[in-house]
Amino acid sequence: MTIRKTIMAGALLALTMTVPVRAQVGKMNGVLEPNLATKEQLVTLPGVTAAVADGIVKGRPYADMLAFDRSVRTLLPDEAQRKALYARLFMPINLNRASREEILLVPGVGNRMLHEFLEYRPYPALAKFHREIDKYVDDAELARLEQYVFVPLDLNTATDEEMRTIPGVGAKMVHEFKEYRPWKSVEQFRREIGKYVSKDEVARLERYVVFKP
């Protein structure tokens, strides 16, 4: 590790120890979420024909990346094709709850990086992922890996900007998230957000949030 990088890592550690850093969803730079991508977007991805795109849409909703992978295996039996697709089409995994099998679906993650992902649990915020994984990869690789992971947001304290990191969340949903504060339970979330979106969409959003007192 260079002197400059060591200094930067130390500064980040000091910042995260003195300023409350909230969890967030990694920035998906061109990576699409399988439950949200349109057929027009899907057919632009590696290995996705019109028939495969129809199959992906038909299989919705996907509860997590494991469920998506099970569906795609029937559409794209070739492992190399699936790997190429997952680089561009992926359901972010919960860093604190994902199984070993699910973590290994992250493009480019093998047994060594799987060990590092697991070693630093629990992740109170994405900042810890940055700090710890940065010990093993360069900044470009860290940014690439971040696209596929998240730590649930505390919906009672998250800022507007943080809420918009959830795939598919815009200004209207941010308003609804804030309107019902303080959130006390997942049942309340399902009831109130269910007034505006489908049950499947509530379940999709639910993956990304927690409700701390």
pLDDT at 9 over 70: no
- pLDDT given for residue 181 in this prediction: 97
Q: List, for residues 25-80, the tens digit of each pLDDT value.
A: 888 889 999 999 999 999 999 999 999 999 999 999 999 999 999 999 999 999 99
- pLDDT given for residue 23 in this prediction: 41
Of 117, 133, 150, which residue constitutes the final position of a domain? 150
The verdict on 164 and 206 lying in the same domain is: yes
Which residue segment(s) compose the domain that 160 sits in? 155-210
- Residue 127 burial (CB count, 10 A): 19
- Residue 116 burial (CB count, 10 A): 15
Count CA atoms closer than 13 A to 81's CA, side-chain side. Answer: 13
pLDDT at 180 over 90: yes
pLDDT at 170 over 50: yes
Domain count of the fold of the chain: 3
User: By the 8 A CB rule, do 120 and 136 touch?
Assistant: no
Q: pLDDT-based confidence at 11, cuts 50/70/90?
A: very low
- pLDDT given for residue 162 in this prediction: 93
The verdict on 136 and 171 lying in the same domain is: no
- pLDDT given for residue 29 in this prediction: 87
Q: Tell me, yes or no, whether 169 lies in a domain.
A: yes
pLDDT at 209 over 90: yes
Q: Tell me, yes or no, whether 12 lies in a domain.
A: yes
The verdict on 43 and 81 lying in the same domain is: yes
The verdict on 24 and 97 lying in the same domain is: yes
pLDDT at 22 over 50: no
User: By the 8 A CB rule, do 23 and 129 touch?
Assistant: no
Question: Which ranges of 78-119 does DSSP label H, i.e. alpha helix?
Answer: 79-86, 100-103, 111-119
Peptide bond into 182 cis (omega under 30): yes
